[in-house]
């Protein structure tokens, strides 16, 4: 059993510190693609240290690896650092070696931020489920491309029974983007009792109601939201402080809650003045195990 295999075995047994020492030892013994890539993955995924991972990955890339693992990992790190072009290049290279769901989804994210919406839409679609977050991203791209008929046809197929269903409020949000306010209201109502109430999505619900002139429901939604926030404020005020929750933490939290309550109280007036609450959209990246020799995921050792 070589050093990398011993490290992986310890990692699988949750002996993390010992495993990390052995992954480092493997690099000291031989700075090859497998040892460098595996330590880079550990730095990125377990240590949250992308800078250390990048140093190792750059060394790996110079060796022109025949595996997509290093390129997938490099692309993910580039995305976290908002280096969209570098991410796009790395993930495109990964796909040219071996396509993977992770690479397609992450490349779509890079293309979205590069304003290459046609490509982003296509890559999202390649790995999208019927009612999941990736299909949500694909539909959002279609809307931005002004392909609203196609977008609505696909959104209409979303099912709450799907295993990967993104959620009622998220579906409602896309209907708001499409200007389909009645459909949006139906989905907001479905999620009303299930979701924690925050001004970002409640304002979108109120906006849909505002556009359909449903003043009675607007008042109900806002009053319930204010009451909910008042209960939060009361609970936060009564919470005792300790070393993990200081007076400063409490004061900051109370200020945030009061600001949210104020948002609810002024919501209708703002919309009457022309305010349109915008959707909060940040397409999520994804990741995976890219450890060479990982038995749990049936990854072979890298063949030099």
The answer as to whether 198 is a domain residue is yes
Same domain, 301 and 245: no
3-state secondary structure of 245: strand
Q: Give me the domain span that covers residue 90.
A: 1-100+288-304
CA–CA distance, 66 with 59 (Å, rounded to integer): 14
- Per-residue pLDDT reduced to its tens digit, 159-198: 999 999 999 999 999 999 999 999 999 999 999 999 999 9
The verdict on 88 and 75 lying in the same domain is yes
CA 104, CA 274: separation in Å to the nearest integer? 39
The phi, psi pair for 62, rounded to 5°, reads -65, -25
14: Cβ–Cβ under 8 A, 6 or more apart, which residues? none
- Taking only the tens place, the pLDDT of each residue in 93-104 is 999 999 999 999
Domain contains 132: no
Q: Answer yes or no: do 10 and 90 share one domain.
A: yes
C-alpha span between 269 and 194 (Å, rounded): 27
Q: CA–CA separation, 240 vs 250, rounded Å? A: 9
267 lies in the same domain as 217: yes
* Distance separating alpha carbons of residues 6 and 63, to the nearest angstrom: 24
> Which residues of the chain carry a pLDDT beneath 70?
none
Q: Is 303 domain-assigned?
A: yes
In a domain, 110, yes or no: no
Q: Does residue 299 sit in the same domain as residue 271?
A: no
Fill in the DSSP letter of residue 301: P
Is residue 10 domain-shared with residue 80, that is, in the same domain? Answer: yes
Domain annotation covers residue 166: no
Torsion-angle region of 213 (φ positive above 0: left; ψ -120 to 50: alpha; else: beta):
left
CATH code for position 54 = 1.25.40.10
* Predicted structure pTM score: 0.93
Say yes or no: 62 and 94 in one domain.
yes
Both 193 and 277 in one domain: the answer is yes
259 found inside a domain? yes
Dihedral over Cα of 211, 192, 231, 254: its sign: negative
Tell me what pLDDT residue 190 has.
97
- pLDDT tens digit sequence for 38-55: 999 999 999 999 999 999
How many other C-beta atoms are found inside a 10 Å radius of the C-beta of residue 259? 11
- pLDDT reported for residue 276: 96
pLDDT at position 304, please? 77
Count H helices, E strands: the chain? Answer: 15, 0
Instruction: Give the C-alpha separation, 91 to 72, whole Å.
Output: 6
Structural domains of the chain, count: 2
């Amino acid at each position: 059993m070589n050093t990398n295999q011993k490290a992986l075995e310890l990692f699988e047994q949750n002996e993390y510190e010992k495993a990390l020492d052995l992954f480092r030892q493997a690099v000291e013994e031989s700075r090859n693609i497998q040892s460098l890539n595996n330590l880079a993955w550990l730095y990125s995924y377990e240590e949250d240290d992308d800078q250390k991972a990048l140093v190792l990955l750059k060394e790996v890339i110079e060796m022109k690896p025949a595996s997509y693992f290093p390129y997938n990992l490099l692309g993910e790190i580039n995305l976290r650092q908002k280096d969209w072009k570098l991410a796009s290049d790395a993930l495109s290279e990964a796909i040219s070696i071996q396509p993977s769901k992770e690479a397609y989804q992450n490349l779509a994210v890079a293309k979205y931020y590069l304003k290459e919406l046609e490509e982003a839409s296509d890559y999202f679609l390649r790995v999208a489920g019927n009612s999941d977050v990736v299909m949500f991203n694909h539909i959002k791209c279609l809307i931005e491309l002004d392909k609203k008929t196609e977008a609505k046809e696909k959104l209409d197929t979303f099912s709450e029974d799907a295993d990967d269903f993104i959620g009622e409020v998220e579906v409602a949000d896309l209907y708001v983007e499409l200007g389909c306010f009645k459909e949006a209201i139906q989905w907001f109502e479905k999620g009303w009792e299930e979701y924690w109430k925050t001004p970002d999505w409640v304002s979108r619900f109120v906006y849909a109601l505002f556009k359909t002139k449903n003043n009675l429901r607007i008042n109900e939604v806002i009053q319930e939201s204010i009451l909910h926030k008042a209960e939060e404020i009361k609970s936060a005020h009564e919470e005792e402080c300790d070393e993990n929750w200081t007076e400063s933490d409490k004061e900051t939290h109370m200020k945030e809650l009061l600001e949210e309550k104020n948002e609810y109280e002024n919501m209708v007036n703002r919309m009457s003045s022309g305010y349109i609450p915008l959707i909060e959209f940040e397409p999520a990246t994804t990741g995976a195990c890219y450890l060479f020799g990982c038995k749990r995921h049936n990854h072979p050792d890298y063949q030099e």
